[in-house]
Amino acid sequence: MSLLEIKNLHARIGDTGILHGIDLTIGRGEVHAIMGPNGSGKSTLSYVLSGRDGYEVTEGDILLDGESVLEMEADERARAGMFLAFQYPVELPGVGGMAFLRAAVNARKRDAGKDEVDQLEFVKMVRAEAKNLGIKDDMLKRPVNVGFSGGEKKRYEILQMALLKPSMAILDETDSGLDVDALKIVSEGVNLLRSVERGMLVITHYQRLLNHIVPDQVHILAGGRIVKSGDKTLALEVEENGYSGLGDAA
Partner 1 sequence: MQPERLYKTWADRKEAAQSYLESVNWPNGQTEAWKFTSLSHLSDVVLNPPKQSSSIARAARLDGEVLNFTAGLAPHLAAASLPAGIIASDISGDKAICHKAFALLPDNHHLTALSASCQTAAVKIEIAGSAKIDTPLILQFTDGKIDEASHPFIFIDIADGAHLHLAELHEGASSLSQPLILVRLGQGSTLDHIKLQDEANHTTHLGLTLFRLDGQANVNSFSVSKGSQITRMETHCFFAAPDAQAAMSAVYLGCDNQHHDITTVVSHEYADCKSRQLIRGVLDDKARGVFQGRVRVAPDAQKTDGQQMSRALLLSRDAEADAKPELEIFADDVVCSHGATVGELDETLLFYLKSRGIDEAEARTMLIDAFLVDTLEEISYQPFADFLRGQVSGWTARQTGVE
Ligand X SMILES: Nc1ncnc2c1ncn2[C@@H]1O[C@H](COP(=O)(O)OP(=O)(O)O)[C@@H](O)[C@H]1O
Which residues here bind partner 1, judged by CB under 8 A?
50-54, 73-75, 78-79, 83-84, 86, 89-90, 92-95, 99-100, 103-104, 107-108, 111, 143, 160, 164
Residues contacting residue 50 through CB under 8 Å, at least 6 positions apart: 74, 77, 78, 82, 83, 84, 170
CB of 71 to Mg ion, least distance (A): 26
Quick one: what does residue 187 bind among partner 1, ligand X, Mg ion, none, with the CB cut-off 5 to 8 Å set by partner type? none
Q: Is 88 in the site for ligand X (CB under 6 A)?
A: no
CB of 54 to ligand X, least distance (A): 7
The correct pick among 3, 26, 42, 126 for binding ligand X (CB under 6 A) is 42
CA dist 15 → 18, 40, 81, 163 (Å): 9, 17, 30, 37
CB of 173 to Mg ion, least distance (A): 6
Q: Which is nearer to ligand X, 51 or 97 (CB)?
A: 51
Q: In this structure, are residues 187 and 85 in contact, taking their beta carbons and an 8 Å threshold?
A: no
**DSSP line for 226-249:** EEEEESTHHHHHHHHH-STTTGGG
CA–chain centroid gap for 77, Å, is 13
**Which residues, 74 to 93, sit near Mg ion by CB under 5 A?**
87
Query: Burial level of 201, CB count in 10 A (0-12/13-18/19+)?
Result: buried
CB of 80 to partner 1, least distance (A): 9
Residues contacting residue 241 through CB under 8 Å, at least 6 positions apart: none
The correct pick among 3, 4, 18, 26 for binding ligand X (CB under 6 A) is 18
Quick one: what does residue 233 bind among Mg ion, partner 1, ligand X, none, with the CB cut-off 5 to 8 Å set by partner type? none
